[in-house]
Amino acid sequence: MCTYHTERVEVAGSGKGPDGWFPLRLACVYFDHPQHTPVEHTLNIDFLNPGQGASARVAVELSEASALALADAIHAALDAATALENQS
């Protein structure tokens, strides 16, 4: 079920590649056949800094269940941090 649809979002953060840490500027998210993960399709996330060339990339392939669990965990962590911040 390849959609060839890619979501691109500007990000601010850091990633660690073969040459060490580098600033992240872009994330590309798409559902496609994986390169390495042994399932039919994965949610793929490429974290990039296009200005630093091809080595400034961190790639992730997640099963559908893992991607949904990760999204839930991200929301839960941010909600908890916001709740703590609002108590101060």
Residue 76 lies in a domain: no
Query: How confident is residue 81, by pLDDT bands cut at 50, 70 and 90?
Result: very high
Whether 68 is covered by a domain: the verdict is no
Give me the pLDDT at residue 19, please: 86
Examine residue 50 and state whether it is found in any structural domain, yes or no.
yes
Q: How far is CA 86 from CA 75, 80, 81, 83, in A?
A: 16, 10, 9, 5
Can you give the residue range of the structural domain that contains 18? 6-63
- Which amino acid type is present at position 8? R
Strands across the sheet containing 6-17:
6-17, 20-32, 42-48, 57-62
Residue 49 lies in a domain: yes
pLDDT in tens, 16-59: 988 899 999 999 999 999 999 999 999 999 999 999 998 899 99
State phi, psi for 69 to the nearest 5 degrees.
-65, -40
Q: How far is CA 27 from the centre of its chain?
A: 6
- The number of distinct structural domains making up the chain is 1
Please tell me the pTM assigned to this model.
Answer: 0.86
